[in-house]
């Protein structure tokens, strides 16, 4: 699997960055984002202080993850909700299947959620012959498209209002109120959660935050860093199934807390901060690598560079090796991150793990072994002329260096040899 991902990454990286039309589109979109972000961040009294506060809150939460998750479960169940703990993707899928059988559900509506993609829920439903509806109400580009979109929207809204079960993700889990918080721009999640008799929210355990007061900080951070908005269009807090005084909402509500390798990251003190991520995707907008080599090139669930830099053990480190090595380590992602994740350190740790797990090709190992030995022995390094060294560089590295770049040319004499000659004069 890792070799297939690596081959695809290397193939795409050799062609996609040189598509002129594609580069123009990316450049235009990035310019729009930068302008929007500059406007939105001006709404913060002190943006850097807000980011530091968010980092501190996430640190506190992740360091006490079990406590806050149990607080959430206790408060959520008090209002009639049910919490299910899922160790991995298969367990999460089976729990959803049990809920559907219990309620004799025939149809499902699902809002866009990266966690459901992580467990390949759509594929699971297809194998189970379950009718599933999932749609984005995108903004139409012309009048005819707008009319078609309206008709399609009316049809799909009927599906939303008659479905037996609605499935969503969540941006945050709130411990002190036993709630989930959802922020979106299209309103699909509200449709999926308001009309269905049963609502299932599938959420990664790292999404927990201590208090509902923290939403006041995290929602604007997600909006400003993600899309350049002050706040996204639809923001919802759900605290359980419909109560007596409620006019809408599900009769039953389940929250599935998904581990799926996240506790493996929690065990690593030096990589634990990866769980701070709030998926604002600001890192993508500034990363030189991602600006040129995007989306499915990474062939990971989330298709964003951060998930290539942090090995969450959702699959294997081998699948994340090449994007981590492709990171320029320029530091822009750290500066842009809404919660101050040290991407540079995570990338280097990912590279370390790939070496320790034997994911480096044997040929590359031999080359670096020879290089290390040579560089540690000055006499051997000075023995060869610059012409000979340049020949070996061309022979061993020309292919890996890429056809669009020229290898650096080494001097005829090394620095130490030149220094010695000048000193003797």
Question: Which range is most confident: 11-25, 69-83, 302-316?
Answer: 69-83
Average pLDDT, the chain: 82
In tens, the pLDDT along 107-121 reads 888 888 888 888 889
CATH 3.40.50.10420 domain residues, the chain? 47-260
Q: Measure the CA angle with vertex 215, ends 212 and 220; round to 5°.
A: 165
- Strands of 198-204's sheet, edge to edge? 82-86, 252-258, 198-204, 165-168, 107-110, 131-133
Radius of gyration of the chain (CA): 26
Q: Which two three-digit tokens encode residue 364?
A: 């590359």
Length of the chain: 425
Q: Specify whether the CB–CB gap between 286 and 336 falls below 8 A.
A: yes
Residue 96, phi then psi, degrees to nearest 5: -65, -40
Neighbours of 67 (CB within 10 A): 13
Percent of the chain with pLDDT over 70: 82
Give the strand pairing for 198-204 and 252-258: parallel
For residue 107, give every residue at least 6 positions away whose Cβ sits within 8 Å of its Cβ, in sequence order, or none: 130, 131, 132, 133, 159, 162, 163, 164, 165
- Per-residue pLDDT of 203-235, as tens digits, reads 999 999 999 999 999 999 999 998 899 999 999
Q: At what angle do helices 20-41 and 215-226 cross, to 10 degrees?
A: 150
pLDDT tier at 102 (50, 70, 90 boundaries)?
A: very high
CA distance 150 to 214: 37
Q: CA 261, CA 275: separation in Å to the nearest integer? A: 11
Residues 358-367 pLDDT 10s: 777 787 788 7
pLDDT digit string, tens, across residues 342-362: 888 888 888 887 778 777 778
Alpha-carbon 16 to chain mean position? 21
CB atoms within 10 A of CB 77: 14
Backbone angles phi, psi at 247, to 5 degrees: -95, -20
Q: Which ranges of 313-361 does DSSP label H, i.e. alpha helix?
A: 321-326, 332-336, 343-356
In angstroms, the CA 68 to CA 209 distance is 8
As a whole number of angstroms, the distance between CA 163 and CA 155 comes to: 13
CA distance 93 to 109: 15
The secondary structure of 61-130 as a DSSP string is HHHTHHHHHHHHHHHHHHTT-EEEEESSHHHHHHHHHHHHHHTT--EEEE---HHHHHTTHHHHHHHTT-
CB distance 279 to 232 below 8 Å = no
Q: In the numeric block, which tokens belong to residue 196?
A: 């269905």
d(Cα 337, Cα 97) in Å, to the nearest integer?
37
When mean pLDDT is compared over 21-35, 304-318, 333-347, the highest value belongs to 333-347
What are the strands of the beta sheet with 208-209, ordered from one edge? Answer: 208-209, 172-174, 179-184, 234-238
Band of residue 141 on the pLDDT scale cut at 50, 70, 90: very low
* Residue 170 near residue 237, CB atoms below 8 Å: no
pLDDT at 310: 46
Q: Which CATH superfamily is domain 47-260 in?
A: NagB/RpiA/CoA transferase-like (3.40.50.10420)
pLDDT of residue 422: 84
Give the model's pLDDT for residue 410.
84
């Amino acid at each position: 699997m890792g070799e297939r991902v690596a081959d695809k990454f290397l193939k795409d990286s050799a062609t996609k960055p040189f598509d002129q039309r594609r580069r123009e589109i990316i450049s235009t979109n990035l310019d729009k984002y930068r302008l929007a972000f500059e406007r939105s961040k001006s709404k913060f009294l002190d943006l850097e202080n807000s980011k530091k506060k968010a980092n501190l809150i996430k640190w506190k939460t992740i360091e006490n993850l079990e406590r806050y998750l149990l607080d959430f479960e206790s408060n959520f169940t008090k209002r009639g909700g049910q919490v299910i703990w899922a160790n991995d993707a298969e367990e999460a899928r089976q729990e959803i299947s049990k809920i559907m059988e219990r309620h004799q559900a025939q149809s499902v509506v699902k809002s866009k959620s990266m966690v459901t993609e992580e467990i390949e829920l759509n594929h699971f439903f297809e194998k189970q012959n379950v009718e599933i509806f999932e749609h984005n109400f995108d903004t139409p580009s012309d009048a005819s498209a707008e009319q078609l979109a309206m008709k399609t929207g009316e049809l799909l809204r009927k599906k939303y209002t008659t479905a037996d079960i609605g499935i969503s993700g969540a941006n945050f889990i709130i411990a002190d109120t036993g709630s989930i918080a959802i922020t979106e721009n299209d309103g699909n999640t509200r449709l999926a959660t308001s009309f269905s008799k049963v609502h299932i929210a599938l959420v990664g355990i790292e999404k927990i935050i201590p208090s509902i007061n923290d939403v006041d900080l995290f929602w604007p951070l997600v909006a400003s860093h993600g899309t350049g908005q002050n706040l996204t269009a639809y923001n919802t807090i759900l605290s359980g199934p419909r109560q007596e005084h409620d006019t809408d909402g599900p009769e039953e509500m389940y929250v599935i807390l998904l581990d799926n390798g996240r506790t493996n990251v929690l065990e690593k003190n030096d990589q634990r901060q990866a769980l701070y991520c709030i998926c604002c995707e600001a890192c993508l907008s500034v990363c030189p690598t991602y600006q040129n080599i995007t989306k499915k090139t990474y062939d990971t669930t989330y298709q964003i560079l951060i998930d290539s830099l942090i090995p969450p053990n959702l699959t294997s480190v081998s699948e994340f090796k090449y994007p981590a090595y492709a990171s320029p380590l320029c530091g822009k992602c750290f500066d842009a991150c809404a919660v101050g994740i040290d991407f540079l350190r995570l990338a280097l740790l990912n590279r370390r793990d790939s070496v320790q797990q034997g994911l480096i090709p044997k040929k590359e190992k031999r080359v670096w072994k020879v290089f290390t030995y040579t560089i540690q022995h000055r006499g051997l390094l000075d023995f060869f002329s610059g012409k000979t060294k340049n020949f070996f560089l061309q022979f061993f590295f020309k292919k890996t260096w890429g056809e669009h770049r020229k290898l650096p040319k080494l001097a005829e004499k090394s620095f130490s040899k030149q220094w010695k000659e000048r000193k003797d004069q």
